Amino acid sequence: MTLELRHVTKSVAGETHIFETDLVLEEGSFNVLLGTTLSGKTTLLQLMAGLDRPSRGEIWFRGQNVTGMAVQKRNVSMVYQQFINYPHLTVYENIASPLKVAGMDRAEIERRVGAVAELLRLKPMLGRKPAELSGGQQQRTAIARALVKDSDLVLLDEPLANLDYKLREELRDELPRLFAGRSCIVVYATTEPTEALLFGGNTATLHEGRITQFGPTGTIYRQPKDLISAQVFSDPPLNVAQVTKQGSRIHLAGGIGFDLGTAAVTLPDGPYTWAIRAHHITPESHPGQPTLDGRVLLAELTGSDSVIHFHLDGGTWISQSHGVHPFDVGAEARLYVDVARSFLFGADGRLMGGSE
Amino acid sequence: MRKRSLIPIIYIVFLMLPIYWLVAMSFKTTNEILGGFSLFPQDFTLENYAKIFTDSTWYSGYINSLIYVVTNTILSVAVALPAAYAFSRYRFLGDKHLFFWLLTNRMAPAAVFALPFLQLYSAVGLFDTHIAVALAHTLFNVPLAVWILEGFMSGVPKELDETAYVDGYSFPRFFVRIFIPTIAAGIGVACFFCFMFSWVEMLLAKTLTSVDAKPIVATMTRTASTSGYELGLLAAAGTLTIIPGAFVIYFVRNYIAKGFALGRV
In chain A, where the domains are located:
2-232, 240-354
For chain B, the average pLDDT equals 88
Distance CA A140, CA A127 (A): 15
DSSP string over A186-233 = EEEEES-HHHHHHH-SEEEEEETTEEEEEEEHHHHHHS-SBHHHHHHT
pLDDT tens per residue across span B93-141: 888 898 888 888 778 888 888 899 999 999 999 999 999 999 999 988 9
Looking at the complex, report in whole angstroms how far the Cα of residue B153 sits from the nearest Cα belonging to chain A. 14
Half-sphere exposure of A176 (CA within 13 A, CB side): 15
CA distance A17 to A35: 13
> How confident is the model at residue B264, as a pLDDT?
61
CATH 2.40.50.140 fits A240-354, yes or no: yes
A212: nearest Cα among A192, A194, A230, A191: A230
Calculate ∠ Cα A263-A266-A267, nearest 5°.
Answer: 100
What is the three-class DSSP state of B82?
A: helix
A51 and B166 within 8 Å at the Cβ level: the answer is yes
Q: Which residues of A touch B184 (CB under 8 A)?
A: 88
pLDDT for residue B224 is more than 70: no
Q: pLDDT value at position B226?
A: 62
From B173, B69, B137, select the one nearest A86 (Cα to Cα): B173
User: Three-state SS for A58?
Assistant: strand
Instruction: Assign A16 to helix, strand or coil.
Output: strand
Contacts of B240 (CB under 8 A, 6+ apart): B49, B52, B62, B216
pLDDT at B265 over 60: no
Q: Which pLDDT does position A278 carry in this prediction?
A: 92
Evaluate the CA torsion angle B235, B237, B241, B243 in order and state its sign.
positive
ipTM: 0.86
- CB atoms under 10 Å from CB of A45, counted, come to 23
A214, A199, A190, A185: which is closest to A3 by C-alpha?
A185
Rounded Cα distance, A324 and A305, in Å: 6
Asked whether the beta carbons of residue A98 and residue B159 sit closer than 8 angstroms, the reply is no
| B229 pLDDT higher than 80 | no
Q: Do B168 and A88 touch (CB under 8 A)?
A: no
Whether this model's pTM surpasses 0.90:
no
Is residue A16 exposed (0-12), middle (13-18) or buried (19+ Cβ within 10 Å)? middle
Q: What residues are paired with A206 via a beta bridge?
A: A35, A211
A155-167 burial: b if 16+ Cβ within 10 Å, else e: bbbbbbbbbeeeb
More confident residue, B182 or B108: B182
Select the more confidently predicted residue: B191 or A165. Answer: B191
What is the rounded average pLDDT for all residues in chain A?
90
Give pLDDT, residue A252.
85
Calculate how close chain B gets to A264, using CA atoms only, in Å: 50
Query: What is the third-level CATH fold of B55-221+234-260?
Result: MetI-like fold (1.10.3720)
- Sheet containing A153-157: give its strands across: A76-79, A153-157, A185-190, A30-35, A202-207, A210-216
Q: Domain A2-232, what architecture?
A: 3-Layer(aba) Sandwich (3.40)
Helix (H) / strand (E) element for B71: namely helix B56-89
Q: Cα dist. B193→B74, B84, B155 in Å?
A: 12, 16, 19
- Residues of chain B in contact with residue A102, where contact means CB-CB under 8 angstroms, are 168
Which region among A32-41, A242-251, B8-17 has the lowest average model confidence (pLDDT)? A242-251
Residues A68 and A53 sit within 8 Å (Cβ to Cβ): yes
Q: Looking at chain A, which residue has its C-alpha nearest residue B179? A: A86
pLDDT of residue B252: 80
Mutate to test the interface with A, among B89, B163, B187 (most CBs of A within 10 A): B163
pLDDT bucket at A189, cuts 50 / 70 / 90 = very high
Instruction: Give the torsion through C-alpha atoms of A129, A131, A137, A138, to 10 deg.
Output: 100
Q: Give the Å distances, CA to CA, from B263 to A94, B77, B258.
A: 26, 15, 5
The pLDDT of residue B227 is 63
Contact B181 A77 (CB under 8 A): no
Segment A121-146 mean pLDDT: 93
* Chain A hits for B166, Cβ within 8 Å: 49, 51, 71, 76-78
Q: Which of A99-108, A248-257, A306-315, B205-214 has the highest mean pLDDT?
A: A99-108
The residue among A259 and B1 whose pLDDT is bigger is A259
Q: Please tell me whether the peptide bond between A236 and the residue prior to it is cis, using omega within 30 degrees of 0.
A: yes
Q: Which residues of A touch B170 (CB under 8 A)?
A: 72
